[in-house]
Structures are given as C-alpha cells and as structure tokens.
Amino acid sequence: MIWWYWVLLGFLLLGIEMVTPGGFYILFLGLAALIVGGLTGIGFVQEEWLQWLMFSGLAILSLLMFRSSLLAWMTRRNGNLPPMDTLAGEQATPLEDLAAGATGKAELRGTVWTAHNAGLTPLLKHQRCKVDRVEGLTLWITAE
C-alpha cells in the first residue's frame, strides 16, 4: 500500500477516536497506521503483506501494553476535578400536595420536575423542601 494511504488511515482513525466516547481502542489502530506509513515512506517496509502484519502487530501490542496505563492515568488526572453539579441539598417547591411516599410535581431552579416525597410527613403545596437525591429525572424530596 502507498505510504500516504497509511498516514491518511492513521489520521482518520485518530479523528474517529476523538469523536467517540473514550475507550482508547481506535487510538492504537491510528498510531499503528501512522507508524507503518512512516516506515513505508522511508522505504523500510515495501511488501504489502508485511505492512498489514506490522499494522496488526503494532496495534495489538500497543493496545495490550499501553491501554490500561493510559486509562489509569486519565482516571487519576480526572480525579482532581470537582464533582459534577448535583441537585442534592438544593431547595425545591412542590406544586401540589404530596402525601408521604407519593409522587407529583415540584419546581427546582425554574424547572418542573417529577418529585417523590421521601419523608414520612406530607408535603404541602409551595412548602420549602430539600432534595435528598436524584434518581433518573425524579427528585426525592423531604421537608426542610
């Protein structure tokens, strides 16, 4: 295969890796294609079967050797980030009376949510409540 086909394939695979959720599989295929393209370009590898063998071997070997350490590094690096915005502890207002364990509607940050009364006492309409947790799109609220 012509050397610039390999380089083009490598950049295409790296681009696909950038737009997909990070599993870091396609990254190693792209890097292997770039390496094979470089080796083919300088005349080190000319036979097509050897190019494909090197591509496969480099991709699998680099995937097995470096993927786990790359994932660990990314996890460690992202571990210092503040937690995502959570609604737990925020103030919500029921838009209707909610009996204990009942589900209805509540307002939080100007948006209407499905709310579940997680407390043992009924909640009155427009009573100030605290969000205990969020499950899916349902707020679990209790009286303040």
Q: Per residue in 35-72, pLDDT tens?
A: 999 999 999 999 999 999 999 999 999 999 999 998 88
Closest to 141 in 3D by CA, of 121, 111, 115, 120: 115
- 110: DSSP letter: T
Average pLDDT, the chain: 91
* pLDDT value for 107: 95
What's the pTM value of the predicted model, to 2 decimals?
0.56
Work out the percent of the chain whose per-residue pLDDT is above 70.
94
Over range 90-116, report the average pLDDT.
Answer: 94
Phi, psi of 71 (to 5 degrees): -65, -40
* pLDDT band at 18; cut points 50, 70, 90: very high
Over range 106-117, report the average pLDDT.
Answer: 94
Helix H or strand E segment including 85: none
Judge whether residue 77 has pLDDT over 80. Answer: no
Q: Which CATH number fits domain 91-143: 3.40.50.800, 2.40.50.140, 3.30.565.10, 3.40.50.620?
A: 2.40.50.140
Long-range contacts: 130-133, Cβ < 8 Å, 24+?
130/89, 130/90, 130/91, 130/92, 131/87, 131/88, 131/89, 131/90, 131/91, 131/92, 132/88, 133/88
For the chain, domain boundaries: 3-78, 91-143
The answer to whether the CB of 56 falls within 8 A of the CB of 28 is: no
* pLDDT value for 136: 86
* pLDDT value for 80: 62
